[in-house]
Amino acid sequence: MTFVETLQNLKWADYLYCLLFDNERLSVMLEEGKPFLPATIVFPVIHALFVILSGSVLNNDGSLFFIKLSYGFISLSILWVLVNIFVTCLSSFTLSGMKIRPDMMRIFSIINLSYFPRLFVLPITVFLVSIHPENSSPGLWSTLSSFVLTIYSIVITVKTICFLHKTTMMKSFLSVVMSLFFAICALLLVAVCASMIMFYMLSQNM
């Protein structure tokens, strides 16, 4: 099936509809389909682009926008995909610890798909920046909306993993939240190490 045919048959729309409104049906669709849907990687990549665009809309970037759109976009996309792989591995590991046989490929697809609601951060930001009344803070509301959308993404991931593995919501919740917690810790550690290396390199060139 070609890319155009895939777009025209609108099966992707069913996935997205179920992702937003019917997670149980989404888990069935995932079970019936191939274990891994490579197209789902598109969502973290588009999310990286939308985050950069919303940041630039908020900050009125100058030439820094082009750096963000090139290096920033590539780095953020790779980062999101790596974080998703990391969270998938940790979630699967946690589920195994709970004596549930994890379906890693489908968990990875779910985590990628769950980025879809977070794409709405861009329309919200554009809306807030375009019509914001005097003395309001579009940056604050944009951040808050991004936070809410992230929670919604986590809820989708938890529910779909729960339906897919036919387990309780609590176990699914624990596996996802613990993985996210460790992923955030790992990211912070990497950021601190990268900063230290950078400052070490700079001090060596004094």
Partner 1 sequence: MDKNRQLLTVIVLFLALTAILSIVRISISMNNSGAKSKLGFPDNSPGIGVIQIYGPITTSGESGAFSQSGGSDAIVEKLDQMQNDPKIKAVVIRINSPGGTVAATQEIFRKITEMRQQNIPVVASMSDLAASGGYYVASACSYIFANQGTITGSIGVIISSPNFKDLFEKYGISMNVIKSGRYKDILSSSRELEDDERELLQSVIDNTYRQFLKDVSLGRNMPIDEFSDYADGRIFSGSQALEYRLVDEIGTYSDSIKKAKGLARLEDNAPVYLESTSPFDQFFKSLEGRISSFDTPAALLNHSLVEYRYVQ
Query: By C-beta, is 97 or 123 nearer to partner 1?
Result: 123
Query: By C-beta, is 52 or 83 nearer to partner 1?
Result: 52
Distance between CA atoms of residues 125 and 143, nearest Å = 9
Distance between CA atoms of residues 130 and 125, nearest Å = 8
Query: By C-beta, is 50 or 91 nearer to partner 1?
Result: 50
Query: By C-beta, is 50 or 163 nearer to partner 1?
Result: 50
Residue 29 burial by Cβ neighbours in a 10 Å radius (0-12, 13-18, 19+): middle
Taking the complex as a whole, the smallest distance from the CB of residue 15 to partner 1 amounts, in Å, to 9
Query: By C-beta, is 19 or 90 nearer to partner 1?
Result: 19
Give contact residues for partner 1 (rule: CB under 8 A): 10, 13-14, 16-17, 49-50, 53-54, 56-57, 60-67, 71, 119-120, 122-123, 125-126, 129-130, 198, 201-206
